[in-house]
Structure 1
């Protein structure tokens, strides 16, 4: 109780000493020792804790419209030293650059009104996995082995499915969308996804078809000019002006957030996916080129705009959506 209260209080630092002075000012020294023991020595399950949070909060979702999306993401925590578990020089999204930090892989359920983290796992870099002395000093359990961020995220999604969490569209950035194994894993679980892709990723454009008649899987690779792979940026630049539609996805702090979107059916040019998928792309008015951005969680708006493309288009700017 003291630790949770301390996290919620306006402490200058979320460490146990300032927490103890706030939650128990009359016995700060004893509270400090108790909190140190709780954080460093007590045996407790973070998975059980998150499960309890979900048990308490998830029942409120139906009243807010139900679960619409599962959001996978990586969260970076900047660090100065080298002793925190998993700390290394790696890309930190909060800073927008490579720096000394920890990375946590998270899975959250959300709709337009609420969001709830349901899985949280610290990423252990391969340099840590192979350093027995460092693992022992930081008390990393033997069963914890190196897994990529995407492998961790896919395992979290699979565990949520087994726990009976209400399904939603899986949303992720280009780090998830550019990996065919991740997309294939989500599809194998029977989930729809809307994930970012890089503007340089290569794909083949194909003719639009009605949703009830999906494109047939090709029996052989075609090499004619109409089926030559191009980058997502090249594909967007070739679209006619009338292909772009104005879409508003939510209210911002100063104005409604909106941009221009277009959707075409494509096949990723790699071998990991061969079925056609609707591919919404964002190009702001007056912009010099399409944007390389992540998904926009606005399924209802985009479904009405791109209804001829797919009934499950989830409002992903510059994203691949797979039904």
Structure 2
């Protein structure tokens, strides 16, 4: 009650994604970015490109899968510039609800079946509550009582990765 909404959630999402288009480079990456972001917020347990392709383009799943794989795998944009743009767009909205009150450092784990994704190793996986095959990322977020915003994000590389220069080279690290 009494809450002002500036446009529908769809139009606000579209404006948000359009704001990111300028920092990802070529205009031909705009539609895959839209599709990828849409896939991230759609229902579904797995957020890999295969199920995202099925949700975002059910009539042409194979082509969409290839498009999303290319977008993610050949993403030659700057993560720092993308995060800076997100901060520029989102921080003023968070600030409307009060000042930043906390900086939060946290780790996030992603269970994985294989061993070829960068950083995957048998290590503690908080999501599973035990040691298992996973990737781990460390993030820095800022927050107030209304919302939080990740402002920095790095993939953790276990020692078995950092000590294997050939593996790092193959993975493009």
Band of TM-score, shorter chain: 0.7 to 0.9
Output the aligned Cα RMSD: 1.5
Q: Which residue of 2 aligns with 1:97?
A: 130
Identify the match of residue 64 of structure 2 among 31, 55, 62.
31
* Larger helix proportion of the pair: 2
| Whole-Å separation in 2 of the counterparts to 1:45 and 1:131 | 25
Q: Which residue of 2 aligns with 1:117?
A: 150
Give unpaired runs (5+ residues) of structure 1: 141-323
Q: Give the CA deviation at 1:12.
A: 4.2
Q: Which residue of 1 aligns with 2:141?
A: 108
* Structure showing greater Rg: 1
Give per-residue Cα distances to partners, 1:196-216, cap 9 Å, x unaligned: xxxxxxxxxxxxxxxxxxxxx
| Whole-Å separation in 1 of the counterparts to 2:124 and 2:59 | 43
| Whole-Å separation in 1 of the counterparts to 2:60 and 2:90 | 33
Give per-residue Cα distances to partners, 1:1-25, cap 9 Å, x unaligned: 1111111111342121221222122
Q: Give the CA deviation at 1:117.
A: 0.6
Q: Which residue of 2 aligns with 1:41?
A: 74
Q: Which residue of 1 aligns with 2:91?
A: 58
Identify the match of residue 115 of structure 2 among 82, 103, 116.
82
Q: Which residue of 2 aligns with 1:13?
A: 46
Q: Give the CA deviation at 1:93.
A: 2.2
| Whole-Å separation in 1 of the counterparts to 2:88 and 2:118 | 29
Q: Give the CA deviation at 1:94.
A: 2.4
Q: Which residue of 2 aligns with 1:131?
A: 164
| Whole-Å separation in 1 of the counterparts to 2:93 and 2:48 | 32
Give per-residue Cα distances to partners, 1:29-82, cap 9 Å, x unaligned: 222211111111231222222111111110023321110000011112222221
Give per-residue Cα distances to partners, 1:251-287, cap 9 Å, x unaligned: xxxxxxxxxxxxxxxxxxxxxxxxxxxxxxxxxxxxx
| Higher RCO (CA-CA < 8 Å; seq separation 6+) | 2
What SS does the corresponding residue of 2:117 show, helix, strand or coil? Answer: coil
Q: Which residue of 2 aligns with 1:160?
A: none
What SS does the corresponding residue of 1:64 show, helix, strand or coil? Answer: coil
Structure 1 residues 126 and 67: alpha-carbon distance in aligned structure 2, compared to 1, 3 A threshold: same
Q: Which residue of 2 aligns with 1:192?
A: none
| Whole-Å separation in 2 of the counterparts to 1:94 and 1:13 | 14
